[in-house]
């Protein structure tokens, strides 16, 4: 795919826009692509990134990534106009039909995990669903897309150090604002997702999971989780092809 | 046997191959995922993910970690068990008209023998590959691959029940791989596969703990290619049975290098993860590469680096 934008939008947080035919095959928010950041001796494998937004008219998709490891640091240096090897769209996204029009959705995100919730929020809103956002970041410097999310619905922020929004975690925010919702959709670090599992007793909760991947297409069995109904047995789900979005109660979080 | 019209055609024990390219065990599952991307008929053969007597979940995640020019994996032989494989995977593969090699793993000799017997009885499997070298299972596995006498005994036992040729997949994690190769050849192995992964580890600087949940994993990818080339070069001169070479192959040039070292066919592993179309791409490129090096038939390459 052709890189049409690659810029830092917060500290170490980059937005990359890619153009190509692959965009036409995207079926649901929450799907991901497997990107080869540049084939050299440090980075052999592809990297999975959730699709943050889709522009069908421009045939473009947007990824948000944190330039932290060898591969993502290399990605940050890719110039506009470069051709990038992208496999996808892969996996299954968030189920839009979990909310009927005029129902309420709560979108909970942490860090770069906020990214796929942007396209989800846009599509839910387009459908007539009332969307509330609750996002957590480590600190103000790594926050992004705040204004864009505010145009879609009420947006509450928490930072671990209190430099923006409420000091604390998204679970603290949810407890204080007590939002009404018919379904929860979340993506973020594993401790956050584990904490959100407890909310599934009342309403359906859908979590987008991250796991180290090899192939991204279901062949290598790197990203495998136990199923919740057989936690010690041989039954399993693959994050890449069965996920990355799972309803709470389907898998045991790693 | 040689078809001059097809410079890639080869025959190994049990395997009539259109070309020397096959996906390596564990990197291709049971073919379904890659079969959705291209016609598996074009492959020389297909090596299935290891089958064990009972279903195995494998290791906890993280199961993979990247390394310079390679990757570590510790999947832990996850598979649904030999009966489920025969029931759910083999019927689809039997229609392909491409030789199927079933990889077998176990923790006891009885496990191997039972699994080998079940698979070779199917008439769908053209050959067996004995995985005596998986570094990622705690019990058995690697012991079978590091002691020449134990490896020979296992090979002998499996040979007595198998109706199809048996290839033994050798571990590089040994002091003398030639001794291992000679021992399994003497025990009746019809061929060798080499090399399996090299035992390795990575440590996360933030947590200060090993990245892989299993702590250690098998190193694969281009990082291990020179080790594989060296071992195939040594072993191919010491045995008369054919070698399926593997270890970091990612281009037609790599295939040629492995065959010059002494491999009679090759398997592509980690490269499938980087480019899911790598096998058809290599198959397509090979004829022009052979022509460029003045080679009429691919079999001319086998062991040419040491043959006078």
Please check whether residue B155 touches A, CB under 8 A: no
Q: Could you tell me if B104 and B50 are in contact, meaning their C-beta atoms sit under 8 angstroms apart?
A: yes
- A36, A222, A235 member nearest B274 (Cβ): A36
Say whether pLDDT at A41 is over 80.
no
Say whether pLDDT at B142 is over 70.
no
- A212, A218, A254 member nearest B33 (Cβ): A218
Residues of A in contact with B27 (CB under 8 A): 215, 219-220
Please check whether residue B280 touches A, CB under 8 A: no
Please check whether residue A35 touches B, CB under 8 A: no
* Predicted local distance difference test score (pLDDT) of residue B137: 62
Ramachandran angles phi, psi of B190, nearest 5°: -90, -15
The pLDDT tens digits for B271-284 are: 999 999 999 999 99
Mean pLDDT score, A51-73: 94
Say whether pLDDT at A234 is over 60.
yes
Q: Do B274 and A42 touch (CB under 8 A)?
A: no
The pLDDT tens digits for B225-241 are: 999 999 999 999 999 99
The CATH number given to B10-61+74-201+218-301 is 3.20.20.70
Give the residue numbers of B annotated as catalytic, written as ranges: 134
DSSP state of A210: -
Chain A stretch 173-212, residues whose beta carbon is closer than 8 A to a beta carbon of chain B? 211-212
Report which secondary-structure segment, H or E, holds A64: strand A60-66
The pLDDT tens digits for B175-190 are: 999 999 999 999 999 9
| CA-based nearest residue to A206, from A65, A93, A91 | A93
Say whether pLDDT at A199 is over 50.
yes
Q: Could you tell me if A149 and A64 are in contact, meaning their C-beta atoms sit under 8 angstroms apart?
A: no
Q: What percent of chain B has pLDDT over 90?
A: 92
**Looking at the DSSP assignment, which residues form a beta bridge with residue A109?**
A135, A187
**Confidence at A90, pLDDT banded by 50, 70, 90:** very high
* Predicted local distance difference test score (pLDDT) of residue B103: 98
Identify the residue among B24, B31, B64 best suited for mutation to test binding to A, counting A beta carbons within 10 A and taking the highest: B64
* Predicted local distance difference test score (pLDDT) of residue B133: 75
Identify the residue among B66, B207, B217 best suited for mutation to test binding to A, counting A beta carbons within 10 A and taking the highest: B66
Q: Do A41 and B69 touch (CB under 8 A)?
A: yes
**Confidence at A202, pLDDT banded by 50, 70, 90:** confident
Give the mean pLDDT of chain B: 94
**Which residue would you say has higher pLDDT here, B139 or B51?**
B51
| CA-based nearest residue to B299, from B10, B63, B6 | B10
Quote the minimal CA–CA distance from A125 to chain B in Å.
34
How many C-alpha atoms does B51 have within 13 Å on its Cβ side?
30
CA distance B145 to A187: 43
CA distance B220 to B69: 9
| CA-based nearest residue to B128, from B163, B167, B159, B95 | B167
B230: CB partners within 8 A, 6+ apart: B261
Identify the residue among A34, A214, A231, A251 best suited for mutation to test binding to B, counting B beta carbons within 10 A and taking the highest: A214
The pLDDT tens digits for B30-88 are: 999 999 999 999 999 999 999 999 999 999 999 999 999 999 999 999 999 999 999 99
The pLDDT tens digits for A102-134 are: 999 999 999 999 999 999 999 999 999 999 999
- Whether the model clears a pTM of 0.90, i.e. scores above it, the answer is yes
Taking CA–CA distances from B73, the nearest residue in chain A reads A222
Q: Do A222 and B75 touch (CB under 8 A)?
A: yes
* Predicted local distance difference test score (pLDDT) of residue B1: 47
Name the H helices within chain B.
Answer: 32-35, 82-88, 90-94, 109-120, 142-146, 148-161, 177-186, 225-238, 252-261, 271-274, 278-292
Pairing mode of beta strands B100-104, B127-131: parallel
Q: Do A39 and B65 touch (CB under 8 A)?
A: no
Q: Do A236 and B276 touch (CB under 8 A)?
A: no
Taking CA–CA distances from B72, the nearest residue in chain A reads A214
Quote the minimal CA–CA distance from B185 to chain A in Å.
31
| CA-based nearest residue to B218, from B147, B274, B157, B145 | B145
Please give the structure tokens belonging to residue B217. Answer: 């994993």
Q: Do B75 and A234 touch (CB under 8 A)?
A: no
Say whether pLDDT at B139 is over 60.
no
**Interchain CB contacts (distance < 8 Å): A and B:** 100
Cα B54 to Cα A177, B247, B306, distances in angstroms: 50, 28, 43
Domains along chain A with CATH numbers: 2-90 (2.40.30.10), 96-208 (3.40.50.80)
* Predicted local distance difference test score (pLDDT) of residue A42: 66
């Amino acid at each position: 795919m052709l890189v049409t934008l690659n810029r830092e939008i917060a500290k170490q947080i980059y937005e990359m826009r890619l153009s190509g035919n692959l965009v036409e095959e995207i079926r649901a928010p929450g799907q991901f692509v497997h990107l080869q950041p540049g084939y050299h001796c440090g980075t052999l494998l592809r990297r999975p990134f959730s699709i943050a937004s889709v522009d069908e008219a421009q045939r473009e998709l947007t990824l948000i990534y944190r330039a932290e490891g060898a591969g993502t640091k290399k990605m940050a240096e890719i110039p506009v106009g470069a051709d990038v090897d992208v496999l996808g769209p892969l996996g299954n996204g968030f189920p839009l039909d979990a909310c009927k029009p005029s129902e309420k959705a709560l979108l909970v995100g942490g860090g770069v995990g906020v990214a796929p919730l942007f396209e989800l929020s846009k599509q839910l809103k387009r459908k007539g669903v009332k969307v509330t956002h609750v996002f957590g970041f480590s600190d103000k410097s790594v926050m992004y897309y705040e204004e864009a999310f505010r145009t879609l619905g009420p947006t509450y922020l928490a930072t671990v150090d209190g430099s923006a929004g409420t000091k604390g975690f998204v679970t603290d925010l949810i407890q204080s604002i007590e939002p009404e919702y018919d379904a929860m959709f979340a993506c973020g670090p594993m401790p956050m997702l584990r904490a959100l599992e407890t909310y599934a007793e009342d309403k359906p909760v859908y979590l987008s999971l991250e796991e180290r991947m090899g192939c991204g297409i279901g062949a290598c069995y790197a990203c495998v989780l136990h199923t919740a109904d057989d936690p010690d047995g041989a039954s399993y789900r693959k994050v890449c092809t069965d996920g990355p979005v799972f309803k709470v109660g389907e898998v045991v979080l790693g | 046997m040689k078809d001059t019209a097809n410079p890639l055609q080869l025959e190994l024990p049990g395997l009539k191959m259109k070309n020397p390219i096959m996906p390596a065990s564990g990197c291709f599952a049971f073919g379904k995922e890659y079969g959705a991307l291209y016609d598996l008929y074009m492959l020389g053969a297909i090596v299935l993910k290891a089958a064990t007597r009972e279903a195995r979940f494998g290791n906890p995640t993280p199961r993979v970690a990247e390394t310079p020019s390679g990757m570590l994996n510790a999947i832990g032989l996850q598979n649904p068990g030999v009966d489920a494989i025969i029931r759910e995977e083999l019927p689809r593969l039997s229609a392909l008209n491409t030789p199927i090699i079933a990889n077998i793993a176990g923790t006891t000799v009885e496990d191997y023998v039972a699994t080998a017997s079940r698979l070779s009885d199917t008439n769908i499997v053209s050959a067996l590959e004995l995985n005596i070298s998986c570094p990622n299972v705690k019990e058995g596995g690697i012991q079978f691959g590091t002691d020449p006498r134990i490896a020979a005994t296992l090979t002998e036992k499996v040979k007595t029940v198998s109706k199809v040729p048996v290839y033994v997949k050798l571990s590089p994690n040994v002091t003398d791989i030639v001794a291992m190769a000679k021992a399994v050849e003497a025990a009746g192995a019809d061929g060798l596969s080499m090399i399996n992964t090299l035992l390795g580890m990575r440590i996360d600087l933030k947590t200060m703990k090993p990245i892989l949940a299993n702590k250690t994993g098998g190193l694969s990818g281009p990082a291990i290619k020179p080790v594989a080339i060296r071992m195939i070069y040594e072993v191919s001169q010491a045995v008369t049975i054919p070698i399926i070479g593997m270890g970091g192959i990612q281009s037609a040039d790599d295939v040629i290098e492995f065959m010059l070292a002494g491999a009679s066919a090759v398997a592509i592993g980690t490269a499938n993860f980087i480019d899911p179309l790598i096998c058809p791409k290599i198959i397509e490129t090979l004829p022009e590469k052979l022509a460029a090096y003045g080679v009429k038939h691919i079999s001319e390459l086998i062991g040419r680096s040491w043959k006078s």
